[in-house]
Structure 1
Amino acid sequence: MQNTTKYDELIQPVIAFLGCETPKAWLDAAKDNLDILMQDHANCEKKAASTAMNLMFRYNFYTDLQVKLAQLVREEMLHYEQVLELMVKRGQEWQSISAGRYAGGLRKEVRTYEPEALIDIMVIGAFVEARSCERFYALAPIVDEELGRYYRYLLKSESRHFEDYLSLALDVAQSSTLKNPKEDIQARIAHFREVEKKLILAPDELFRFHSGVPLQAA
């Protein structure tokens, strides 16, 4: 009971940040597609590390950004290794699967000028991490014990990552020439909340870790 309460408390800020919770239809599909779920989860961890690394090179003049992103890279790669180990343990071979529409749908909304573009990328990072955290929480009770235990383990770091990205977005905004940095951040959070919500609730042809409602269930 104590653990359940701890996880429930941990997830509340995440759910409050997101515009919706994962639909039951997606969770039902996840139970029947654990191999795709785990493969795409591994891909997501690797992509998250790659994104953070690219940002470190592109925006190397932001010192605070360098330190926090370096920490993110290490954690995301650790998670990548852990998912690969789980796949091997369960006899699941690596397979190449295409990316879903989720990340691309969010990145279409990024502004094309600086520092607004970087702020948007940070806000998107927050939503990606928050959604991952929310899905780990929702999946943990319905998958097998080993996988559920691992997803609960990830909850703490993923919830911290979403807060880290929001903090970085605010740091960038406050160090810029924006007249009202906090208002700009809140406006972009509200905008991306609606975009992300539509991606999660709309019918989706592909089942992926961040996909929308499976088309056959829509």
Structure 2
Amino acid sequence: MLHLHSESTKRWLVQVDNHLDELLLDHAHCERKAASTAMNLMNAYTENLDICREMATIVEEELEHFFMVIDILKKRDIPFRRIAPGPYGRKLTALIRQNDPNRAVDRLLVASLIEARSCERFRLLADHVADREPELSAFYAGLFESEARHHTTYVKLAEHFTSREMVRERLTELSKLESEIIAEGSELPRMHS
């Protein structure tokens, strides 16, 4: 369902154990950036009302998630602040082809893969902290469905620009490259490190 070519490793769970506060900060930034990405796509393809409608829904949901994470940070006395982004998003964005309609397809599919990886990580995190942090576990388990839906929405919208077959072929290519990026990891403890 998620079109991922790899699963997260235990290396990431070590980062969870050692840097949960920083991962929560990064998660807030991820939700903010996801809302911004959806808004940028809405602006770029404003003549496509299907994209506009779906992006408006995603913007709303991502901002709701942002404020939910902000509330968790407040409860934990973690001040919200800027942090350096990890390399994951930059490396994925570098894979986007430059000319439309290929650019539109890639922008949507890169967004879909980020949502898919988030979905996979949220499920992993929910299971990992279940015994010691049941409230946090429930929060992350609850995000799974919307992230999976966002992934599917982005894939479906890519079909506005090319055939389903071409979308699936490009998604497979990008997913393989995404798995290489996630395997490289990052020393920065991030949701996508």
Say yes or no: TM over 0.5.
Answer: yes
2:22 paired residue among 33, 36, 42: 36
Structure-2 separation of matches of 1:83 and 1:40: 10
Once structures 1 and 2 are overlaid, which stretch shifts more, 44-53 or 199-208? 199-208
The alignment status of 1:194 with 2:183, answered yes or no, reads no
Of 35, 48, 58, the match for 1:62:
48
Match of 2:161, SS state, is helix
Write the distance in 2 (CA, Å) between the matches of 1:96 and 1:74.
22
**TM-score, with structure 1 as normaliser:** 0.84
Which has the higher mean CA deviation after the structures are superposed, 90-99 or 158-167? Answer: 90-99
Q: What is the distance in 2 between the residues matched to 1:141 and 1:55? A: 33
Q: Quote how far apart the aligned CAs of 1:187 are.
A: 2.0
TM-score normalised per structure 2 = 0.95
**What CA deviation, in whole Å up to 9, does each residue of 1:49-82 have, x standing for no partner?**
0111111112111110000000000000000000
Q: 1:169 aligns with which of 158, 183, 186?
A: 158
Q: Which residue of 2 aligns with 1:127?
A: 113
Query: How far off its partner does 1:205 sit?
Result: 2.7
Q: 1:103 to 1:203 in 2, by over 3 A?
A: closer
Aligned residue runs from structure 1 range 69-88, under 5 A: 69-88=55-74
What residue ranges of structure 2 are gaps of 5+ in the alignment? none
* Number of residue pairs aligned between Structure 1 and Structure 2: 190
* Structure 2 residue identity aligned to 1:183: E
What is the distance in 2 between the residues matched to 1:95 and 1:68? 29
Query: Rg: which structure is higher?
Result: 1
Q: Distance in 1 between matches of 2:159 and 2:13?
A: 33
CA contact 1:56–1:69 (8 Å) conserved in 2: yes
| Deviant stretches of 4+, over 3 Å | none
Deviations 1:84-112 (A, max 9, x none): 01110111111221111111111111111
Provide the identity percentage: 37
Q: Secondary structure at the match of 2:159?
A: helix
Q: CA RMSD in A?
A: 1.0
**Amino acid of the residue matched to residue 72 of structure 1?**
I
1:177 aligns to what?
none
Residue 41 of structure 1 contacts residue 209 of structure 1 at CA under 8 Å; is this kept in 2? yes
Q: Which residue of 1 aligns with 2:148?
A: 159
Offset of residue 203 of structure 1: 4.2
